[in-house]
Amino acid sequence: MKFFPVMQTIQTYLRCRPSSNSSDHSSVDFIIIRSDTGQVCFRMNPESMGSMSSNQDSLSIFNFKTVLGPDVSQEHVFEVVCTNVIESVLNGFNGTIFAYGQTGSGKTYTMTGSSDSYSGRGLIPRCLEKLFRSVDASNDTFKV
């Protein structure tokens, strides 16, 4: 009997989109993306904080399982985010990949990909391909 590790917690990943030249970043003093520690830190510009109380710290730190920078390929995102989920699903456990973010932040691109090239396909077509190839290569009988 094989033992398969099961993901028992929610894993949170951040994919950073390349910044747009037309974006207004005047509300943020700085942003630090630390892929090595899975942290994103930013400090708000005090003048842009408006009605926020002056005793609130404008430094925000967010922790993620992994932070994927703007130069990361769709294939790398799939390997980091989806591989364990697909393995769990193939071993009979539920798995969910959920994209959340602001409008225009790149959720659709990450999930469905680009039709410009095969290498630009997103997580959904990659997951389906992995599932079907794994089932096809398996000698086991899968019950639906």
Flag whether 34 is in a domain: yes
User: Largest Cα–Cα distance in the chain?
Assistant: 64
Flag whether 110 is in a domain: yes
pTM: 0.74
Q: Does 45 share its domain with 80? A: no
Q: Does 106 share its domain with 46? A: no
Query: Quick check: 63 and 32 in contact, CB under 8 A?
Result: no
Q: What is the pLDDT along the chain (144 residues), one digit of tens a residue?
A: 555 555 567 889 999 877 665 555 556 667 788 888 888 887 776 665 555 555 556 788 889 999 998 889 999 999 999 999 999 888 888 889 999 988 988 899 999 998 888 989 999 999 999 999 988 888 766 555
Q: Which pLDDT does position 48 carry in this prediction? A: 57
Q: What residues make up the domain containing 130?
A: 69-144
Query: Quick check: 40 and 34 in contact, CB under 8 A?
Result: yes
Q: Does 73 share its domain with 100? A: yes
Burial 107-131 (b: 16+ CB within 10 A, else e): beebeebeeeeeeebbbeebbeebe
- Cβ-based neighbour number of residue 40 at 10 Å: 18
Q: Does 93 share its domain with 142? A: yes
Q: Does 130 share its domain with 97? A: yes
Name the domain count of the chain.
Answer: 2
Flag whether 2 is in a domain: no
**Token reading at 93:** 């456990």
